[in-house]
Amino acid sequence: MDDPLDGIRRRFSRLYEPIIDVGRGWHSILITLDAELTEIDPTIAYVQIKERYGGLRVYSTRPSEDAWNAVRRAKRRAQTAALATCESCGRAGTMHSRLGWYRTLCGSCAAESDYVPVPR
Ligand SMILES: [Zn+2]
């Protein structure tokens, strides 16, 4: 079976390991973002894709000058979507924490892993 993330892995810079270090719940966000970025500037290559402090981080090579703002907006949209999506299962999620670690999770995934909601 084709891994839907293979297309994203193929677009990593050759200087970096093509590791997509986020939970399954965010995969569809990445696929949407990748389609947008490909359309904005097909020369963009990924450098790192990971979760940090409960948020989605997508680092890429520098886009062409005229694509800069569109790339920023697309990444911002993906980050915003990730902050409202359980990284584990993809349902609606909010920021949770456990012992200083942060993750965006839904209530049931949080309860399974002893994470508690972070007050806004
Ligand atoms: Zn969940």
Q: What is the pLDDT of residue 1?
A: 58
For 19-50, how does the pLDDT look when each residue is reduced to its tens digit (9 = 90+)? 999 999 999 999 999 999 999 999 999 999 99
Q: How high is the pLDDT of residue 120?
A: 76
CA of 85 to the centre of ligand 1 (A): 8
Measure the CA–CA gap between 86 and 7, rounded to whole angstroms: 23
Q: What is the pTM of this model?
A: 0.94
Cα-to-centroid distance, 27 and ligand 1 (Å) = 13
Residues with CB under 5 A from ligand 1 (ion): 86, 88-89, 106, 109
Instruction: Indicate the Cα dihedral angle 31, 34, 38, 44, nearest 10°.
Output: -150
Which regions of the chain are under pLDDT 50?
Answer: none
For the beta carbon of residue 85, count every other beta carbon within 10 angstroms: 23
Beta bridge partners of 57: 50
Distance CA 10, CA 5 (A): 9
Whole-angstrom Cα Rg for the chain: 15
The candidate with the shortest Cα–Cα distance to 38, out of 2, 59, 63, 69, is 63
